[in-house]
Amino acid sequence: MEPFRVHTGLMAPLDRANVDTDAIIPKQFLKSIKRTGFGENAFDEWRYMDHGEPGVDNSKRPLNPNFVLNLPRYKGATILLTRKNFGCGSSREHAPWALQQFGFRAIIAPSFADIFYNNCFKNGLLPIVLSELQVDHLFNVGMATTGLKLNIDLERQVVEVPGAEVYRFEVDDSRKQSLLNGWDEIGLTLRHIDKIRAYEASRASTEPWIFPEQRG
Amino acid sequence: MTNFAQTSPQSPLQTQPRTLYDKLWNAHVVHTESDGTALIYIDRHLVHEVTSPQAFEGLEINGRKPWRLKSILATADHNVPTLGRHEGITDAVSRLQVETLDKNIEKFGVRDYFGMNDARQGIVHVIGPEQGATLPGMTVVCGDSHTSTHGAFAALAFGIGTSEVEHVLATQCLVAKKSTSLLIRLDGNVGRGVTAKDIVLAIIGKIGTAGGTGYAIEFAGSAIRALSMEGRMTVCNMAIEAGARAGMVAVDDKTIEYLRGRPYAPQAAQFDQATAYWRTLHSDIGAVFDRVVEMDAAQITPQVTWGTSPEMVASIAANVPDPAKETDPVKREAMERALQYMGINPGTPIAEITIDKVFIGSCTNSRIEDLRAAAGVVNGRRVASNVKLAMVVPGSGLVKRQAEAEGLDQVFLAAGFEWREPGCSMCLGMNDDRLSPGERCASTSNRNFEGRQGAGGRTHLVSPEMAAAAAIAGRFADVREIL
């Protein structure tokens, strides 16, 4: 996984609450058996005027000129600012894949849906929770200032508006360390192989029906 | 902090009263880090074709193998056609995904696979309990958010992403942090025509789609105990629509009787041994929850969603709300956008909204009890002429067979419904079952998001009885007036 330490980038505001994973990446693109190729279809139904399908050349499709991420001033944005409960709905990891492959490195919102929040960390995408007031302020500044860039420092756990506010955010230490170092979580878990085996042996003695393969 | 019941003084020998969630969590902790992050053991891993290919690929790239093959139960459900299945899948992209699962099952040696043409194939959240593969006290995961369904059996069950699917395959564990606990207690008796679906929609209407975020929900109270296992599954299924990864219900006689004799459940003496443990799986008196929500079940009426989020829900007897009366600007804008997408004017009586299609199915409402209830409304009546398509998609091959043995298929067919093969179908339209732009559907599924059932499609979530009533009337109708 690509580590996340410090990032400075253009912020794009998506002023909607409860953005669901069906909106982030519609179902027809979930048929892919790969981990890549989702970026061009991020927010497909909002971003294009026509209906998208896998295998279509997206560069030839008509863009929705009113969709915020299509506005020239937000071209190249790497930080998404949005409203509460972002990423609700299905567990599809295709949603963070699509956002990351679109170019985002961080998402700022007052709250995230649990599974989506979790999935982001597995993909080097940093979800940042700020208060409603702070998010409101960023929306105001973002609308008023063309080309607003934010600085995000995971080690210090801060979002900085250059020359202005510094907002501190919370993140679990384990998640932070994994992201800072780009660790392979499976590799980390396998350090506890003896504990897992011991746990299984203990459970198999008290709840043998969980382990039918050990019968006879 | 709120007390579940009055706190009884504890002697030093007694352990602290624990919630059901505490018990399930504690029983699965393998290791805890200093920041409270834990490694928890996974007993049952349900696998389907959409969220597993990249996980199996990851295993292969890293030269890893599944840790415990017998924990896996796999099926193909999202992409499978519900018509002409013997001809295979015509959409090449869908076909490749199902064939990829077939290949992975073979390559990695998974033994329990109900492929597309297996008589036991079906929606993963229907077949787990049906087979007795979901048991009380288990941790159950699946790369699918509706895994919360299995919590109806006092299991700790939640949806995961594909990276976590790979993690469970490789290590049989997940890295997780304990959630906070939310007790939703419903006492009182629901009225006639009010179902588990109405209960859970009313809960979501009350607490909102983010009301359960960060929580594990326990559903309790006399109205929950009165539900069948199927009804409890419907309620837990939609815990995720309230934002909670996991929903659960304590074990009682219904849980145990449902599981007795199921193929994957323990048998004979071991069943009795298991039962003795399962009966401890409830919240202790005096257990403390982080939050408690209480509702009077008698006040719940048949529910219909009117917008593009499950929290946008109202009684069949109500009118569509007016955004102009909403004071929160973010909410008001969301309501305006939703009504525009749905093509409905504020103030419209819900019972005047006409429909184009009816879908009875999905992991929320495709079990035998759901089909019986819908057939009870349909029996002897006809689908209204303005309804272009009314379809019933049983949750599994075994549900379908049972329904046919009871003659339910004939009831639906005689009324003008289509009777399909099992799968996820038009809940999310990854196969050919979709809404066209602008089409309005009475659906027993779980999500009414924009485009969920097909780009531009308009979904109204209802119970199976209400979907049946809507099919007959050609518009939403109060099932209590029909029964």
Q: How far is residue A152's CA from residue B367's CA, in Å, rounded to a whole number?
A: 49
B458 contacts in A (CB within 8 Å)?
A: none
Residues B269, B270, B273: CA angle, nearest 5 degrees: 95
pLDDT, tens digit, for every residue of B128-180? 999 999 999 999 999 999 999 999 999 999 999 999 999 999 999 999 999 99
Q: How far is residue B65's CA from residue B58's CA, in Å, rounded to a whole number?
A: 10
Supply the pLDDT for residue B2. Answer: 45
pLDDT reading at A1 higher than 90: no
pLDDT, tens digit, for every residue of B231-246? 999 999 999 999 999 9
Sheet holding B29-32, edge to edge: B29-32, B38-41, B173-176
pLDDT, tens digit, for every residue of B14-23? 679 999 999 9
Q: B100 or B3: whose pLDDT is higher?
A: B100
Please judge whether B30 and A111 are an interchain contact, meaning their C-beta atoms are less than 8 angstroms apart. no
Q: In A, residues 107-146, which contact B (CB 8 Å cutoff)? A: 111-115, 118-119, 122-123
pLDDT reading at A182 higher than 60: yes
Supply the pLDDT for residue B69. Answer: 98
pLDDT reading at A36 higher than 90: yes
Q: For residue B6, name the pLDDT band (cuts at 50, 70, 90).
A: very low
A63/chain B closest Cα distance in angstroms = 16
Please judge whether B41 and A196 are an interchain contact, meaning their C-beta atoms are less than 8 angstroms apart. yes
Residue A158, H or E segment = strand A158-160
The residue-averaged pLDDT of B248-269 equals: 98
Q: In A, residues 74-113, which contact B (CB 8 Å cutoff)? A: 83-85, 88-94, 96, 111-113
> Within an 8 Å CB–CB cutoff, is residue B451 touching chain A?
yes
Q: For residue A214, name the pLDDT band (cuts at 50, 70, 90).
A: confident
The residue-averaged pLDDT of A93-115 equals: 98
Euclidean distance between the first and the last CA atom of chain A, given in angstroms as a whole number: 42
Please judge whether B54 and A34 are an interchain contact, meaning their C-beta atoms are less than 8 angstroms apart. yes
The residue-averaged pLDDT of A172-176 equals: 94
Give the one of A83, A185, A195 whose C-beta lies nearest to B31's C-beta. A195
Q: How far is residue B66's CA from residue B110's CA, in Å, rounded to a whole number?
A: 9
The residue-averaged pLDDT of B79-84 equals: 96
What whole-number percentage of chain B has pLDDT above 90?
95
Supply the pLDDT for residue B7. Answer: 41
Supply the pLDDT for residue B1. Answer: 43
Give me the interface pTM, i.e. the ipTM: 0.96
Q: How far is residue A54's CA from residue A152's CA, in Å, rounded to a whole number?
A: 34
Supply the pLDDT for residue B14. Answer: 60
The residue-averaged pLDDT of B382-404 equals: 98
What are the CA-CA distances from residue A50 to residues A29, B70, B92, B196, B388 (Å)? Answer: 15, 45, 22, 38, 24
The residue-averaged pLDDT of B285-292 equals: 98
Give the 3-state secondary structure of residue B444.
coil
Q: For residue B353, name the pLDDT band (cuts at 50, 70, 90).
A: very high
pTM, to two decimals? 0.96
Amino acid (one-letter) located at A23: A
